[in-house]
Amino acid sequence: MTESLSPTALSNLRAFKREWAALCEGIALGRDEERLLELLSAVDWRRLLLLAEEHCVLGQLAAGLNNDGAVRVPPEIEQSFVERRRTENFLTLRLTAELFRSLELFGKQGISALAIKGPVLAAEAYADPSVRAYGDLDLLVRQRDIRRATQLMIASGYQAAVPLAAIDAGKIPGQYLFSHPDSKLLVEFHNDLTLRYFPRPLRIEDLFARQVYVQVDGHEVPGPCVEDHLVLICTHGAKHFWERLSWIADVAGIVSRQTSIDWERAASSAKAVQSEHLLHAGLRLAADVLHAELPKTISARVTNDAVASKLAARALRWLPAAGHKSPGLVERAAYRLRMRGSFFAAPAYLLRLTFSPTEEDWQAGSILDTLRRPLRLARKYGRIKRGSL
């Protein structure tokens, strides 16, 4: 009888050791083909497929295995690859079409928005929007435009997780989430108030001032410049404790394919929000896990950043499990403190995250919501080790 595999099996890191090594080598841009063939000869293909799916890198692995035709994928696994990739590609096409529609709708109403992650990141990091999987659309929208943008989304058939009454009351969620009951599509709005994991508030006007247009399926899509985008995705990865290989693959893809990166601008962008350690940790993981080649001067900065090295080393302890062996409450808090870096600023940063209520905490009022949040976090992450603070 064929062994039944559940995603929770990933918590047993030793059982997936060979598959993890093969997965990393298989999606690395600078992979060693001989080593990859050697690793694949000893893997359990069902485990490898599960690992790739949980890490959201099915597309990258499929591209790596089809690189030169040398890898012989078992027929049943190849068929499963095809079916799962077809499902991913169908969702990608629907989300991309929805991105074009939403941007056009907002433009007609004078609302500026920047597309982050999703199709834009896929084009920048992989030169192919179909390679990178994503389950929703993320847009940067200024806070002053949130109410009007929400009204437009509701008029388009979306249900708003954050009601207009909460917006009018000045409540700030973790993100403004919209779901379409018929198409099942998800859209999220973010801005400098919702992206609270930046050590300092995001300078959203700077991102709009430096915006670029990225070619996505023949359309010009507004997004952050590549340097700002790199800082943003490294901060996002740190927020989620780097529990998915896909986030590291994004960093490696940008570094490898965007050869004209202005590294001083990237450093300046990170410094403006005090995310230097988070940027360096992301670059360190891209280099160590996926063989991304960094310019010598940048490699030296990354190597000499002791805080970034500790952040990367900690993340590697739970990374292979794809979120099924997450750090506990105390270790999460310690990681948050390291994210801030400074001995004096770190406690204030952790306290800000702990006592900043989101939509999950909204019940009775601002003061009670603030006090309720740390209790909810303690219950949630003291009981189960999954998700993020």
pLDDT tens-digit readout, 253-277: 999 999 999 999 999 999 999 999 9
Co-location of 112 and 218 in the same domain: yes
Q: Which amino acid is at 310?
A: K
Q: Quote the pLDDT of residue 389.
A: 40
Do 124 and 237 fall into the same domain? no
pLDDT at 386: 40
More confident position, 69 or 186: 186
Q: For the chain, how are helix, strand and coil distributed in percent, rounded to 5?
A: 60, 10, 35
Predicted local confidence at residue 122, as pLDDT: 94
167/201 same-domain check: yes
Count how many domains the chain has: 4
Is pLDDT of 385 > 50? no
The residue-averaged pLDDT of 180-197 equals 94
pLDDT at residue 237 greater than cutoff 50: yes
Residues 212 and 294 in one domain: no
Q: Which residue has 């591209």 as its token pair?
A: 63
Claim to verify: residue 191 and residue 127 sit in the same structural domain = yes
Q: How many CB atoms lie within 10 A of CB 257?
A: 15
In a domain, 190, yes or no: yes
Domain-located, residue 184: yes
DSSP 8-class letter at 186: E
Give the pLDDT of residue 387.
Answer: 38
Q: Which residue has the tokens 């890490």?
A: 55
pLDDT, position 344: 65
Domain boundary (297, 323, 349) is at 323
pLDDT over 70 at 117, yes or no: yes
Q: For the segment 319-370, what is each residue's pLDDT rounded down to a tens digit?
A: 999 999 888 888 888 888 888 876 667 777 777 777 666 666 666 455 555 5
Q: Domain of residue 25: give its range.
A: 7-73
> How high is the pLDDT of residue 343?
61
43-52, 211-220, 308-317, 333-342: which range is least confident on average?
Answer: 333-342
Number of H helices and number of E strands within the chain? Answer: 18, 7
Handedness of CA 9, 136, 340, 289 (dihedral sign): positive
Residue 151 forms part of a structural domain: yes
pLDDT tops 50 at residue 58: yes
Domain co-membership, 299 together with 388: no
Q: Are residues 101 and 219 in the same domain?
A: yes
User: Using 50, 70 and 90 to split pLDDT, how confident is the model at 13?
Assistant: confident
Residue 26 has pLDDT above 90, yes or no: yes
Please tell me whether residue 325 adopts helix, strand or coil conformation: coil
State the CB neighbour count (10 A cutoff) for residue 200.
Answer: 13
Extract the runs of DSSP E, i.e. beta strands, from the chain. 113-116, 137-141, 159-160, 176-179, 186-190, 212-216, 219-223
Least confident stretch, 68-82, 119-133, 157-171, 325-339: 68-82
Q: Are residues 311 and 372 in the same domain?
A: no
Q: What is the mean pLDDT of residues 136-158?
A: 98
Q: Examine the domain organization and report whether 247 and 286 are in the same domain.
A: yes
Whole-number average pLDDT of the chain: 89
Q: Is residue 1 part of a domain?
A: no
Kindly state the tokens that stand for 301.
């900065």
Q: Quick one: 181 and 284 in the same domain?
A: no
**Mean of pLDDT values over 147-163:** 97
81 pLDDT tier (thresholds 50, 70, 90): confident
- The answer, yes or no, to whether residue 206 has pLDDT greater than 80, is yes
Return the pLDDT at 367. 52
Predicted local confidence at residue 346, as pLDDT: 74
Single out the residue of 228, 205, 172, 92 nearest to residue 366, CA to CA. Answer: 172
Query: Given a cut of 70, is residue 70 above it in pLDDT?
Result: no
- Categorize the per-residue pLDDT at 251 as very low, low, confident or very high, splitting at 50, 70 and 90: very high
Specify whether 212 is located in the same domain as 129. Answer: yes
Residue 2 domain flag: no
pLDDT surpasses 60 at 291: yes
- Higher-confidence residue: 179 or 353? 179
Residue 297 has pLDDT above 60, yes or no: yes
**Which pLDDT band, with edges at 50, 70 and 90, does 2 fall under?**
very low
Are 331 and 389 found together in one domain? yes
Q: Using 50, 70 and 90 to split pLDDT, how confident is the model at 69?
A: low
Instruction: Give the pLDDT confidence score for residue 130 in this predicted structure.
Output: 81
